[in-house]
Amino acid sequence: MNLLITSAASATAQLIAGELSGAHTLRLTDLPENASGDIVAHELGHESETDELLAGIDAVINIGYQGQSGSPAHLMDYSTRRMYNLLQAASDAGVKRYINISTLRLYEDHEENLVVTEKWRTDPSAEDVDLLNAHIAEYVCKEFARDRLIQVVNLRLGWPFVGDSSAKPEDTAVISHGMIGAAVQEALVSEELIQWQDIHVQSPIEHQRFNTNTAARLLPGLAGRLSS
């Protein structure tokens, strides 16, 4: 597949690109102040250049959490206006699937004994700008999906991100690098998804905090890894 990965200079985008590069053709993009090397500098504005960025793309992987840094005003602009432009251009280009990388930290204030599923609403504190913008990015994506303009998979990933064998006992919401790559790969190809699909993914560990039954059901290639 031809994939566009946004906020490509971020650690999350670089991790995902590394996991997918052998199987797909990647187009990496970021804002001009972040772009270097093979990353295409792009403002994600209203102009035709955004349409050109999406030309020939099969799916978009958007880093909706900690893809950007800066002032609250900058982050708010990115997760609203620029995301709207990107989604509109993707819809106009006939992109089949848009994967938004979000975070299970949106539920971190909930007690760990609660069985939190995808049906639970997110309600992050406005004091954490990164979480607030992840929350807003989800809503922008959801509006496009509800209007049936594009299919969106909202992957809420656990935290922290670790190597495949370096989780600590206290990291009850941890996710491994390999699990992240596998989740994105499965989200690209699954045929079981609805127009707007929330999916929670974390690594299987003792005292696991989040329920991953939906991921095991809708992302068949993950089922074995989620139960191991």
Instruction: Tell me what percent of the residues of the chain surpass a pLDDT of 70.
Output: 98
For 121-136, the pLDDT digits (tens) are 998 988 999 999 999 9
pTM summary value: 0.96
Q: What is the mean pLDDT of residues 22-35?
A: 96
Compute the mean pLDDT over every residue in the chain, rounded to the nearest whole number.
Answer: 94
Task: Place 165 in a pLDDT band, splitting at 50, 70 and 90.
Answer: low
Q: What is the pLDDT of residue 134?
A: 97
Longest dimension (CA), the chain: 50
For 135-154, the pLDDT digits (tens) are 999 999 999 999 988 999 99
Residue 60 has pLDDT above 90, yes or no: yes
Q: Which domain holds residue 128?
A: 2-226
Q: What is the mean pLDDT of residues 10-27?
A: 96
Q: Residue 109 to residues 60, 205, 222: CA-CA distances in angstroms?
A: 30, 20, 27
Counting the structural domains of the chain, the total is 1
Q: Which CATH number covers residue 16? A: 3.40.50.720
